[in-house]
Structure 1
């Protein structure tokens, strides 16, 4: 199975989950996703997802000056983003349970 197709389907929830407990700037979010196991995720995909989630009203941004380079734009979940994450987590859990049942991988 092509992991890149699966990744496209879950990148929004993965980005929201990464931001759940800690704000982050673009490269930091990318790094945390890769550390979590999304090694195939591309830079452009993450930055596009951040823009889309911001435009949808699920994220807020703020700029932090940097002594060692350009200012960094940080992303943070707002109330709408937390609601979206909760809904997506519920949907994901139900989907994973259903697939587990179909594949016979769940203990009964």
Structure 2
């Protein structure tokens, strides 16, 4: 079983545009084949908002679990930097294994 960082998964899910919690988890499931538990998902959303990497989208009156959120410009930069770093590590590891990247 692979371990994924919940915050990185949430940022990836939001890269295409604003989503509410359930839709974020659905996007994560499409990406990695599994859903985050409610504590992991909403904990990640809360931490990302506290770090100002995501922010509420237009529908401010929605319930917390139905409130859409979006990446901030800083969140987009952090995600790009994280993904580039992960890609570099993956490429080095695959090269060491003498495996062609997929």
Give yes or no for the alignment of 1:93 onto 2:75. no
Shift of 1:13: 2.0
Moved over 4 A (4+): none
Pick aligned residue for 1:73 from 67, 83, 87: 67
Tell me the TM-score normalised to structure 2 length.
0.82
Unaligned stretches of 5+ residues in structure 1: none
Q: Distance in 1 between matches of 2:83 and 2:72?
A: 16
**Structure 2 SS opposite 1:36:** helix
Report how many aligned residue pairs link the two structures.
Answer: 99
RMSD after superposition: 2.1
**What's 1:28 paired with?**
23
Larger Rg: 1
Contact 1:30–1:43 (Cα < 8 Å) also in 2: no
Q: Distance in 1 between matches of 2:42 and 2:97?
A: 34
